[in-house]
Structure 1
Amino acid sequence: MKTFDYVIVGAGSAGCVLAERLSADGRNSVLVLEAGGSDHNFWIRMPLGYAKCFTDPEVNWNYKPEPDPGLGGRVNHWPRGKVLGGSSSINALVWMRGHASDFDDWRAAGNIGWGYDDVLPAFRALEDNEAGADQWRATGGPVHIADIRRMAHPLTHRFLDAGAELGLPRNPDFNGAGQEGVGIYQLNIAHGRRVSAADAFLRPAMRRGNVEVITHAVATKILVENGRAAGVEFLHRGEKAVAQARREIVLSAGSIASPQLLQLSGIGPGEVLRGLGIPVISGNRHVGANLQDHQSVNYAWRANVPTLNRLLRSWWGKAFIGGRYVLTRTGPLAMSVNQGGGFLRSDPALSRPNLQIYFQANSAVPPRPGGSAIREIDPWPGFAMGVSNCRPRSRGEIVIASPDPAQPPRIAVNALSDPHDQMELVAGVRFLRRMAATQALSRFIVEEMRPGASVQTDEQLLADIRARAGTVFHPVSTCRMSPDQDKGVVSPRLAVHGISGLRVADASVFPSIISGNTNAATMMIGWKAAEMILEDNR
């Protein structure tokens, strides 16, 4: 048994930041427990390699939610990182903070210290933005943010022209003065390589003598003594071990594993825990509840010009772009497949964008039910556009089904269970078709391949959405932040209600989902959490 000042469970997007910040002054000893293994993996380093990591059990939990009525009874594939860096090591690399008002909503809900003005300094501290520093972005931080405007596929720029044709402003920085409009996404890439949380934060921390990282360490229980979290029980390569914390334990295991571990430890919905024979230490029905996620559907068009399909599908194309990447760290493999996108309002009366759109200069066959979760590149030149709603109202839950830590929890997504979400996506796909009909894009289109011109009415569009939509891999809010224990799991200081010495710092604490990709905001949570922990323990 070893004792540390701080024990962090999970070396993901937030946990890596915590490890670096808590150990920076050299005074605190820090242990990081990570269920996965090393991130020294070519497919992790290469930006487009995330397609290879999508189902790889060596780096991926490969969760399977329950069949979802809102998605026609289908079972979605939920990849989550099981590796140093967590999901920041296997995601699609889009660096998006969210809309400023999202964080103001957090503060308005009583979470003092979490408004946009409060979190902006943390976002800026994270970044080394290739586009330069200004009022909103910064340089010199640990995470390099690449500007790929000159490298983006030519069709991506035609997508921007199409948006302008429909009245959407060109937005040079979705993380800057405003979010609305179309533009080229910023990616957390440096010199053609992924910059994960492990690269930016954990690896520098591991060079210090006061940080220890144990991989293949699966946390099984938080040990609570007299109302205080005292240690973490974990399995390391099949052997049971315990790590004690002099000051605090911080769960950064993510929106699935953090509530799972709390429930296994007797912190959660009392009726569920008693039914599984787990003694209730602190009853809280919100542990695992309030699950939110973005749902997206892609439309695909056959093009009359070459697209990335030719390079990504053929053997010679793969050889060409592979050789280019190895020799120069450039080309399609050095970027995300999502090179451009935007935010828009489906109703001009709305005060902020409610839809996010994505452009891909390639198209792929959706996974077959029961088949591989990997998409196959179409055999014809094609491109795709996708849409998701920014702030869905549908809610799901994560609940353990067994007291056995090795058993995955039950994930009930309840996607599109709220009629508002259904109609937003219907409006969204109608906008995609308006984009395709612009002069800027229509001259490159032969025909719409998915879902096809025969799908026209709202009922048909919604049926197609249910048949083909899926997660954008942004689960949040299962340990929701709230000053009121009757409404959440952690306080605005991220302390677990009812238990001292225990905090949660990852995407599970989001009071509500943000507009856009969640990885940057999760790193911000880690940065802010470290500040709070150090302040409270001085």
Structure 2
Amino acid sequence: MQTYDFIVVGSGSAGSVVAERLSASGRFSVLVLEAGGSDRRFFVQMPLGYGKTFFDPAVNWNYKTEPDPGLAGNADHWPRGKLLGGSSSINAMVWIRGQREDFDSWRDAGNPGWGFDDLLPIFKAVEDNEAGADDWRGRAGPIHVTDNRRNVHPLCQRFLAAGKELGLPLNSDFNGAEQDGVGIYQITTKGGRRMSAARAFLRPAMKRPNVRVETGALATRVRFEGSRAVGVDYCKDGRPCSVGAAREVVLCAGSVNTPQLLQLSGVGPAPLLREFGIAVVHANDHVGANLQDHLGINYTYKATVPTLNQVLRPWWGKALVGMQYLLLRTGPLSMSMNQGGGFFRTDPGRERANMQLYFQAFSTVIPKTGERPILTPDPWPGFSIGLSNCRPTSRGSIMIRSGNPSAYPKIVANAFSTDEDVAEMLDAVKFLRRMAATRVLSEVIAEEVLPGPACRTDEELVLDFRRRSGTVYHPVSTCRMGPDPNTAVVDSRLKVHGLSGLRIVDASIFPGNVTGNTNAATMVTGWKGADLILADHR
């Protein structure tokens, strides 16, 4: 059996960073196990092509939650990346760090080294921000961050003016001194191509002789000798394989697959493991528990002026933007669907923003089978304003439903399961209506399509957002970090409580969700986690 110094399970937003950092000195051998395949696919590399990957089983796990009472009984679709780069290869590319208070709360919960001032130097080191370096931004890192202010659709300016009319400040950098306000999103692209964790970190690392990446390799079990992790079993091309870890096994499989793999390996709630005949290596009820996620909804409008619908829907428009992209790597296909956005407080008395905004200069009310219809929008001019909650109080879980590693786990999201979450979302959708009623937006709105003017009362608004809301793909905290092994899975050095030779370095360790998109914080977790590992193996 071949042995490596480190085995990294998962090549996503954290795993790609971990593999690059652990292998950089050349001192250590690193094996990366990735269940999916290559990221070298046209619709992965083309930024707006992620509509094509939204249901594609070749690159997407395509998880579904259990039918959720909080979502009017709907089983929510959960896309997660199944390829090099993980979800950073199929996401919307918006680059948001989160608020200072998010990370300071991690530190104050007993996790030294995880406060905002501790992580800011890493955020800056990770990024190569087109807007330039300052006290908040970095300029020479591996992740190129594009400043899109010159390239967005003209309707974005009306969105910004509407926010200003409602008292929201214009914000040129949501990762700067303040997060509140409206502005244009920075995105992870470079030269018109997606800047995933694989492109930025893993691909350079793969050129090193001390790095091996196995694709199509589904990890089935972490192997233990007593309480020490010593290797990983995996399946490739239908064959069982085993590999040893001389130093550590590092789980970077994400908030769904990391708790699943731990449970399959005998680490998790003891009654659950015994139910499926899995020998208990270490009992911990919090493996797979404490699931947190952001939930979002769009309000959609028919417009009296042209939108991207008129460009992206007709064959001649597709041909034009296609040629623009192929020849110049510019135009709508080189950007995210979310061009503008921002953060606001549903109650002015709140200490900080609790809702995120998204502006899309096109509409996709009419569904298209097999894809998210970003590239085939509605046949009339339309646009959408979306929002998502930033720090919901609802909690769910991710637990195995059998001992079969190929069986998808049971995802119980428990969306809108607290009165607080329902109340703040009701306030938030009313804010969207006020935004649409501003002078600058109302003069280009022909009608509200979704939910429509018939939806008026609080009860109708709540029922509507239960029916139409869904994940915005930010699950975290299923193996959360904390000092107490009775309430957490890993300590502040990301070592699994009660075990040795095993760490978790991905978004599952977040003690709480961040205010905004999670990709940036996950990459920084990968960087920080690799530093902690290297410090223990000098």
Which residue in the other structure is 2:372 paired with? 374
Are residues 1:251 and 2:245 paired? no
AA partner of residue 197 (structure 1): A
Alpha-carbon distance between aligned partners in 2 of 1:450 and 1:312, rounded to the nearest angstrom? 21
User: Would the aligned equivalents of 2:51 and 2:371 in 1 still touch at CA under 8 Å?
Assistant: no
Q: Secondary structure at the match of 1:300?
A: strand
The one-letter code matched in structure 2 to 1:524 is V
Is the 1:77–1:373 Cα contact (8 Å) retained in structure 2? no
Shift of 1:76: 1.1
Deviations 1:465-512 (A, max 9, x none): 011111101111000111111111111100011110000001101000
Which residue of 1 is the match for residue 390 of structure 2?
390
SS at match of 1:430: helix
Q: How does 1:115-194 map to 2 (within 5 A)?
A: 115-194=115-194
1:204 maps to a residue whose letter is P
**Structure 1 ranges of 4+ moved more than 4 A:** none
What displacement does 1:374 show? 2.5
Identity of aligned residues (%): 61
1:34–1:215 contact (8 Å) kept in structure 2? yes
Hey, what's the Cα distance between the residues in 1 that align with 2:167 and 2:366?
Answer: 31
Counterpart of 1:119 in 2: which secondary structure?
helix
Cα offset for 1:236? 1.1
Alpha-carbon deviation of 1:109?
A: 0.8
Deviations 1:45-76 (A, max 9, x none): 10001000101111000001111110010111
Match of 1:223 in 2: 223
Shift of 1:273: 0.5
Alignment of 1:285-296 (within 5 A): 285-296=285-296
Query: Does the 8 Å contact 2:53/2:371 carry over to 1?
Result: no
Partner-residue secondary structure (3-state), 2:346 = coil
Provide the secondary structure at the position in 2 that maps to 1:493: coil
Give the aligned partner of residue 509 of structure 1: 509
Match of 2:359 in 1: 359
Residues 125-524 of structure 1 mapped to structure 2, 5 A cutoff: 125-365=125-365, 367=367, 372=370, 374-375=372-373, 377-524=377-524
In structure 1, C-alpha distance between the alignment counterparts of 2:360 and 2:425, rounded to whole Å: 19
Render the CA deviation track for 1:303-355: whole Å, top value 9, x for unaligned: 00000111222111111111111111111000001001000111111110011
- Structure 2 counterpart of 1:230, which letter? V
Question: 1:65-76 to 2 correspondence within 5 Å?
Answer: 65-76=65-76
Offset at 1:366?
6.4
Show the counterpart of 1:7.
7
**Distance of 1:170 and 1:529 partners within structure 2:** 35
Q: Give CA deviations for 1:371-415 in whole Å, capped at 9, x if unaligned.
A: 756346222100000111110000100000000001000000010
Contact 2:339–2:360 at 8 Å: present in 1 too? yes
Distance in 1 of aligned mates of 2:342 and 2:273: 43
Q: CA deviation at 1:357?
A: 0.8
Question: For 1:285, what is the secondary structure of its paired residue?
Answer: coil
| Residues 49-60 of structure 1: pairs in structure 2 closer than 5 A | 49-60=49-60
Q: Alpha-carbon deviations, 1:20-53, whole Å to 9, x = none?
A: 0001111011000000011110001100010001
Task: Report if aligned partners of 1:476, 1:513 keep a CA contact under 8 Å in 2.
Answer: yes
8 Å CA contact 1:355, 1:389 repeated in 2: yes
Number of residue pairs matched by the alignment: 536
Over residues 152-177 of structure 1, what are the superposed CA-to-partner deviations in whole Å (9 max), with x where a residue is unaligned? 00001110011111110100000011
Give the distance between the partners of 1:315 and 1:393, measured in 2 at CA. Answer: 45
- For 1:271 and 1:157, locate their aligned partners in 2 and report how far apart those are by CA, in whole Å: 56
> Is residue 103–residue 116 contact of structure 1 (8 Å, CA) maintained in 2?
yes
Q: TM-score under structure 2 normalisation?
A: 0.99
Cα distance between partner residues in 1 of 2:319 and 2:419: 47
Does the 8 Å CA contact 1:346/1:427 hold for their aligned counterparts?
A: yes
Separation in 2 of the partners of 1:355 and 1:127? 25
What is the identity, as a one-letter code, of the residue corresponding to 2:83?
V
Alignment partner, residue 105 of structure 1: 105
Q: How far, CA to CA, are the matches of 1:243 and 1:179 in structure 2?
A: 45
Partner in structure 2 of residue 87 of structure 1: 87
What SS does the aligned partner of 1:162 have?
helix
Deviations along 1:72-125, one digit per CA (max 9) or x if unpaired, are 101111100000000000000001101111001111111111110011111111
When normalised by structure 1's length, the TM-score is: 0.99
* Residue aligned with 1:318, SS: helix
> What are the ranges of 5 or more consecutive residues in structure 2 without an aligned counterpart?
none
What is the root-mean-square deviation in Å for CA atoms of aligned residues? 1.0
